[in-house]
Amino acid sequence: MTLLPVRFCRGLCLLAIVAAADLVPATSATADLLGHGPVFLLGYSPDEDASGAPQDLALIEAGWRWRFDGHQTVDDFFAKGHIDFSWAVEPAAGLVCGDAEAFEASVVPYVHFRPLGWESVVPWLEGGIGIAYTGLRNYGLGSRVTFSDNVGVGVSFGDGLRWSVGYRFRHLSHAGIFGSPNDGLNAHFLTLSVDL
């Protein structure tokens, strides 16, 4: 008997979503590709293993980044503050070496902000949360599949601002979804990317 109100509410919500979708003007579902190209990451993690022993890990990763222009409404909002908004998707894979050895892979969508009006060297800020796989064991991660929380800063330069170099902080954890342990693992990266 308790399922009837739940099903009724779900149906009512679905009907409201469909009705609202009909009221919103149709827009293109495609995003303008701003660029794509390789990204290289060299990282270091001065973290601890599950027993609390200090561990030094080096991380070497490579991937591909697709950058897209933001939706017009979002672009217009940030342009009022002289900020350019774009977003990117970055799949990457690499190796962990040092006090432990493992394979890692991730797919992370990023939001990317940079000031408007700058020309030859342009600073940027970005952040993203995606999903990652890590082969690391005994680090208190609780799962090989984790969230990859990232924030980075850097500069773009060169002809058409094709080149970017930056710093990225990454935190891996499963947000308590898989119970305990969930110690997490932090890493610092130097990033280099180029739009082809």
Q: What are phi and psi of 132, to 5 degrees?
A: -140, 150
Number of structural domains in the chain? 1
3-state secondary structure of 142: coil
Whole-model pTM: value is 0.82
In a domain, 24, yes or no: no
In a domain, 1, yes or no: no
* pLDDT digits 0-9 by tens, 107-142: 999 999 999 999 899 999 999 999 999 999 888 888
59 closest CA partner among 91, 104, 90, 89: 104
In a domain, 7, yes or no: no
Mean pLDDT of 149-159: 96
In a domain, 8, yes or no: no
* pLDDT digits 0-9 by tens, 45-73: 998 888 888 999 999 999 999 999 988 88
The one-letter amino acid at 157:
F
Task: Give me the pLDDT at residue 47, please.
Answer: 87
Domain range for 188 is 31-194
Task: Give me the pLDDT at residue 11, please.
Answer: 52
* pLDDT digits 0-9 by tens, 93-113: 999 999 999 999 999 999 999
Distance between CA atoms of residues 41 and 55, nearest Å:
20
Distance between CA atoms of residues 131 and 125, nearest Å:
20
The answer to whether the beta carbons of residues 62 and 193 sit under 8 Å apart is no
In a domain, 70, yes or no: yes
CATH of the domain at 68: 2.40.160.20
Per-residue tokens: 25: 């003007």
Task: Give me the pLDDT at residue 125, please.
Answer: 98
Instruction: Label residue 181 by pLDDT band (50, 70, 90).
Output: confident
CA angle 93, 94, 100 (to 5 degrees): 140
155 closest CA partner among 115, 105, 187, 189: 115
